[in-house]
Structure 1
C-alpha cells in the first residue's frame, strides 16, 4: 500500500521566507520603513510573527535579507564582474549608468534608504549592511582597476580603493541628498573627471 509523502519542511520554510521578503519590500514601498512592523509583515506574508522572530531579530534584519535576496535574483547565477572590453572609460561609464538606473528605481531606493538610516542608529546592522551589500560591489571596482593597472592603463601608484571612491562617492552623495538629478550624463562626467582629473594640481606624494 503506497504511503503518503511527508511534507517537505525545507520547501515550506523557503516559501515562507520568500513571502516574508516580498511582504517586507512591499510594505516599505507602501507605508515607509517607520510604519512597517513585524506584525504587518507577518500579516501580509500569511505567517505568524513568531516565525519571523525565530529567523530574524528585527524588521531591519528582515529588510536586509530581503534586499540581499532581491539583488541576488537580479544578478542571476554566477559571479558578477565589471565589464572588461579593454576600454576602461567606456566600461566604467556603462557600470555607472546602470548604477544610476538602479538608484533611481523605487525597488532599490526605498529599502536602501531605510537600511542606510537604520544602520546609523544600529551599528551592528550598519556593519552588516557594509559587509554584505556595499563591500562586494566595491571590490568589483578594485578588481577592474587592478586589471587596468596590469595593462598600463592606470598608473601603478594609484590606490584602487581611493580611486573607486572618486567614481561611486559622487553618485552616492547625489542620491543621498536628492537635491540634484542623478542622470547618465552626470555619471559620464564623473567618470571623465575621475580618469582625467580637474587639472591645476600637482602629483600627490
Structure 2
C-alpha cells in the first residue's frame, strides 16, 4: 500500500505541467491629461489572426475606450476591432482600433515601448505586469522614451483548475494525516 501511494505521488509530481491558458486584461491609462484610456481582454489560447516579423494581430477583440478629452466610455463589440502587438526597431508597442475600411477610423490608439510578448510572433507568450509606454515612436534606441501611458496586464482567468502537482501534494498530505491517525494508539485508563 505504501509503495503504491508513493508511486502515485511521484508520478503526479513528475508529470505535472503548468497551464499556459489564461485570459489577460489590458488596461491602458494616460499618465498625463487628454490621453486615451483603453481596456480589452485577450484569451492566450487563441492564435493570432496574422503574424509577421513586425508584429502579431488579433482581429475581433472587443474594446472599451475613452477618447482624449472625454469621460464617456465607448464599447465596441469587436466586429471591426483588433489589437496589434508591434515589433519595431528594437522596441515594441500596441495598436488598438478599427480595421482598415471600417467606420470611425479615428478611434484608435498607438503606443510604443517594450515588447509585450516573448517568443516569436508565430508562437507568442504574452507578458503580464506594468509597462510604461509613449505615443511618440523613438527613432533610435538611444532616444529616451517619453512616458505618457501606463499599461497594466493582469491574469483574470476565472476559477483556475489546480495543477496536478497541487493535487498530488493535497492527496499526499491527507494520506499522511490519515496514516498518522491510524497508527496512533489510544490508551484507555480504567479506574482501579
Query: If each structure's helix is expressed as a fraction of its own residues, which one has the higher value?
Result: 1
Larger radius of gyration: 2
Hey, which of these two has a bigger chunk of strand by percent?
2
* TM-score after normalising by structure 2: 0.26
> What TM-score does the superposition give when structure 1 sets the normalisation length?
0.25
